[in-house]
């Protein structure tokens, strides 16, 4: 009896109040398709600006709800075919800045790429816009950090946000890059 | 010489290109006041919806940039005088839901409070709106998690977001509350 109650509770979110005889594989798929799957490390940065890790096919239906106009992709690897097809089908413009993934102490973030990407982020004609790299931690974190600097955030709050996404992978070199980033000419 | 270069770099973000003779305590304060201090754990949740830890006086000038219409406060403690004055001065409406802070295994989140708060969050007349408790981790995390459930997010992504803010203080009981929360009647 105890085991039955437990089992019922565990299933509660999957099929509440659906009598067993009415369930079919098709309706199960239907139910599953209704759930949106945002990419890991997804978040809203500001009005019309989002950030995330690399989106896969599972994330496409969620991304569609954002009504994206552009994507800023910060890795050198070419964009997967499935993702390109999704962009073509939904009319999303892709901007790629090929920033190499480097591990400390050999991190060298190209300031020109971040500056170029930031100009696109600041241009509302590109909104709604998604910024992503691979994990949404370092390259994305640097770009968002520089945006925050431009928005006049104090470094404490910029690093609080950076660390929330980078977690145990937070890099001093990224934070130093943000601290030294010169925002003049971008305001 | 090495020490001088180092010192110059360390000061770069504080007073670039300001000759020493022109610096005065007043201008230093001025410079500091230009920096916005978002509360810790601050983030945008969705269009017109923000979350954070408890905002203090240092955060008021930043909060003003959000143009808030209301604040949803999830603790039983009365709101500090300085914060009430800020709300009065800026015309922000305060909605308080006194959810007690409990430590596991004695966590009991009142579903009615979360449901009531969620109704306010869903009503665009209250936007832009800030949700906060003390640390912006548990009570705020539960409310945002229930909002995500209503938005059709899968639990993996809801928990990814919850854990980003709760970090090493993440509670299984909060996540179970979100999983079991019944969103019917709220859509």
Q: Does A183 have pLDDT greater than 80?
A: yes
The predicted structure's pLDDT at residue A171: 93
Percent of chain A with pLDDT over 90: 74
Model pTM score: 0.82
- Pick from B45, B152, B167: which is nearest to A35 by CB? B152
Asked if B1 reaches chain A (Cβ–Cβ under 8 Å), the answer is no
Give pLDDT, residue A93. Answer: 98
Q: Is A161 on the interface with B (CB under 8 A)?
A: yes
Side by side, the strands of the sheet bearing B43-46 are: A93-96, A70-73, A129-132, A49-52, A43-46, B43-46, B49-52, B129-132, B70-73, B93-96
Chain A hits for B62, Cβ within 8 Å: 153
Give me the pLDDT at residue B5, please: 39
- Token pair 């190209």 in the structure block, residue: A110
Q: Tell me whether A128 touches chain B (CB under 8 Å).
A: no
Instruction: Return the axis-axis angle of helices B172-180 and B155-166, rounded to nearest 10°.
Output: 150
> What is the structure's pLDDT at B14?
37
SS (H, E, C) chain B: CHHHHHHHHHHCCCCCCCCHHHCCHHHHHHHHHHCECCCCCCEEEECCEEEECCCCHHHHHHHHHCCCCEEEECCCCCCCHHHHHHHHHHCCEEEECCCCCCCCCCCCCCHHHHHHHHHHHHCHHHCCEEEECCCCCCHHHHHHHHHHHHCCECHHHHHHHHHHHHHHHCCHHHHHHHHHCCCCCCC
Kindly report the average pLDDT of chain A as a whole number. Answer: 85
Give the angle subtended at the CA of B46 by the CAs of A64 and B171, to the nearest 5°. 105
B24 at A interface, C-beta within 8 A = no
Confirm or reject contact between A179 and chain B (CB < 8 A): yes
- The interface residues of chain A toward chain B in range 63-122, judged by CB-CB distance below 8 A, are none
Q: Which among B34, B46, B180 is the nearest to A152, CB-wise? A: B34
pLDDT at position A28, please? 40
pLDDT at residue A20, rounded to an integer = 40
Nearest to B157 among A12, A42, A155 (CB): A42
Q: What is the mean pLDDT of each run of 10 residues along chain B (187 residues)?
A: 36 38 42 80 98 98 98 97 98 96 75 96 98 97 98 97 96 95 89
Contact A64, A90 (CB under 8 A): yes
- Give B-chain residues touching A47 at CB under 8 angstroms: 44, 47
pLDDT of residue A105: 64
Burial (0-12, 13-18, 19+ Cβ within 10 Å), B128: middle
Segment A142-167 shows an average pLDDT of: 97
Task: Tell whether B9 is within 8 A of chain A (Cβ).
Answer: yes
pLDDT per residue as tens digits for the range A119-136 = 999 999 999 999 999 999
Closest residue on chain A to B36 (Cα): A153
CB contact under 8 A, A44 and B42: no
Chain B partners within 8 Å of A152 (Cβ): 34-36
With an 8 Å Cβ cutoff, are A43 and B13 in contact? no
- Please say if the pLDDT value at position A51 is more than 70: yes
Which ipTM value was assigned to this complex?
Answer: 0.82
pLDDT for B187:
75
Alpha carbon distance A161, A167 (integer Å): 10
Judged by average pLDDT, the poorest of A24-38, A108-122, B116-130 is A24-38
The confidence score (pLDDT) of residue B142 equals 97
**At which residue do the structure tokens 């073509």 appear?**
A88
CB pair distance less than 8 Å for B42 and A12 = no
Q: State the best of B34, B44, B127 to mutate against chain A, taking most chain A CBs within 10 Å.
A: B44
Residues A104-121 have a mean pLDDT of 88
> In this predicted structure, what is the pLDDT of residue A149?
97
The predicted model gives A38-49 an average pLDDT of 98
Catalytic position from the list B75, B102, B133, B146: B133
Range of lowest pLDDT (A2-11, A34-43, B25-34) = A2-11
Q: DSSP 3-state assignment of A26?
A: helix
Q: Is B75 a catalytic residue?
A: no
Residue A157: closest CA among B68, B65, B77: B65
User: Which of B153, B158, B159, B178 would you mutate first to test chain A, the one with the most A CBs within 10 A?
Assistant: B153
């Amino acid at each position: 009896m105890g085991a039955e109650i437990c089992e019922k509770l565990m299933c509660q979110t999957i099929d509440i109040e659906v009598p067993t005889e009415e369930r079919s594989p098709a309706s199960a798929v239907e139910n599953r398709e209704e759930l949106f799957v945002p990419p890991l490390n997804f978040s809203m940065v500001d009005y019309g600006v989002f950030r995330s890790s690399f989106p896969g096919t599972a994330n496409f239906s969620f991304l569609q709800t954002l009504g994206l106009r552009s994507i800023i992709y910060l890795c050198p690897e070419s964009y997967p075919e499935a993702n390109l097809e999704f962009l073509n089908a939904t009319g999303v413009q892709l901007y790629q800045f090929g920033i190499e993934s480097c591990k400390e102490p050999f991190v060298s973030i190209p300031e020109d790429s971040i500056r170029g990407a930031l100009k696109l982020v600041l241009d509302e004609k590109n909104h709604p816009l998604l910024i992503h790299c691979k994990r949404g931690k370092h390259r994305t974190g640097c770009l968002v950090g520089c945006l925050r600097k431009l928005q006049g955030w104090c470094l404490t709050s910029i690093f609080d946000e950076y660390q929330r996404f980078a977690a145990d992978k937070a890099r001093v070199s990224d934070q130093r890059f943000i601290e030294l980033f010169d925002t003049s000419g971008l305001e």
